[in-house]
Amino acid sequence: MKSSKSHVQSKAYSLPELKFENQSLPSFAGLVILQKLFAAINLKQHLQRCFTHLNSGKIFDRATIFLPLVVPLILGYRELQDSRYYRDDPLVKRLLGLKQLPDVATLSRALKQASVQSVKHLRTLLRELVFDRLQALCPARITLDFDGSVQSTMRKAEGAAVGFNKKKKGA
């Protein structure tokens, strides 16, 4: 079923009031905190500027497509197909500013249409957000932790760093 832009998008400006008492909360009630964070850093507006060079006129603009890719990672989901677990949650929809979440096919098509320029803009935005936050916090010390993962090249070692595997020589 084809949807219109007004049928899909919604506005959520105010935060719901939380009271710490016995009440039935949805599974992802903690997303209220992220709604405040996203509003404070103007995330959606920043994302819209990253994707202004791409064609518009779609029901889901590129910024609206990008957020449903980030929120599941925060919730602990790693695959697009996992959207079936949170598709009907009202707080997920509220955080994203949508009445209806894009389906997996829509997300896949949008990812396929991503250009090198949009990825470059997105990386720049994320770097700026991190640097702005670091300047605001002004920490006395910053620790960078780089964990390396070993991946086998299966004897196709062109451009790979040299390693040694005692159990599988040459791998």
18 vs 95 pLDDT, higher one: 95
Convert the pLDDT of each residue in 124-164 to its tens digit: 999 999 999 999 999 999 888 777 666 666 666 665 565 66
Distance of CA 56 to the CA centre of its chain: 20
Give the pLDDT score at 151. Answer: 64
Range of the domain at 98: 5-15+26-137
Q: Does any domain span residue 38?
A: yes
pLDDT greater than 60 at residue 114? yes
- pTM of this prediction exceeds 0.85: no
Q: Does any domain span residue 51?
A: yes
Q: Does any domain span residue 160?
A: no
Q: Does any domain span residue 95?
A: yes
Q: Does any domain span residue 158?
A: no
Average pLDDT, the chain: 81
Q: Does any domain span residue 93?
A: yes
Cβ–Cβ < 8 Å for 129, 49 = no
**How many domains, in total, are found in the chain?**
1
Q: Does any domain span residue 149?
A: no
DSSP, residue by residue, 86-106: TTT-HHHHHHHTBSSPPPHHH
Q: Does any domain span residue 78?
A: yes
How far apart (Å, rounded) are the C-alpha atoms in residues 96 and 126?
A: 18
Tell me which range, 18-22, 28-32, 83-87, is most confidently predicted by mean pLDDT.
83-87
103 vs 160 pLDDT, higher one: 103
Give the pLDDT score at 148. Answer: 66
pLDDT greater than 60 at residue 25? yes
Give the pLDDT score at 150. Answer: 64
